[in-house]
């Protein structure tokens, strides 16, 4: 889907769809994630009204993190951290 224009992407999202983010500078795929002592990596990044990151952990379990694209989500429990490889720092969602 990397060849869609922003207008085409917005049309998909506004109609309730999701976009599989694959672009180098827009996708969470490959980002390291941790939850307490569990380490994982983002294997699927679906962007729509909410952004759903599918995480595969080292113990072969999988979880999905739902992020609110519009603002903070007060109902979301912030138990996950992502690794910024440029700064070499973990950030909490």
The pTM score is 0.82
| Cα 44 from chain centre | 7
Please answer whether residues 81 and 30 qualify as being in contact, where contact means their C-beta atoms are separated by less than 8 angstroms.
no
Tally the C-alpha atoms within 13 A of residue 41's C-alpha that lie toward its C-beta.
6
Buried b (16+ CB within 10 A) or exposed e, 15-45: eeebbebeeeeebbbebebbbeeeebbbebb
Any idea where the domains of the chain sit in the sequence?
A: 6-92
Instruction: Say what the pLDDT of residue 3 is.
Output: 77
Instruction: Say what the pLDDT of residue 1 is.
Output: 46
Please answer whether residues 40 and 83 qualify as being in contact, where contact means their C-beta atoms are separated by less than 8 angstroms.
no
- Taking 80 as the threshold, does the pLDDT of residue 60 lie above it? yes
Which tens digits make up the pLDDT trace of 26-53? 899 999 999 999 999 999 999 988 899 9
Instruction: Say what the pLDDT of residue 84 is.
Output: 95
% of the chain at pLDDT higher than 90: 49
């Amino acid at each position: 889907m990397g060849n869609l224009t922003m207008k085409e992407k917005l049309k998909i999202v506004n109609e309730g769809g999701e976009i599989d983010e694959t672009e180098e500078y827009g996708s969470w795929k490959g980002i390291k994630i941790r939850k307490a002592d569990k380490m994982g990596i983002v294997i699927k990044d679906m962007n729509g009204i909410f952004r759903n990151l599918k995480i595969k952990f080292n113990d072969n379990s999988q979880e999905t993190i739902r992020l609110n694209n519009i603002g903070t989500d007060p109902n979301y429990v912030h138990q996950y951290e992502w690794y910024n490889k440029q700064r070499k720092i973990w950030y909490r969602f």
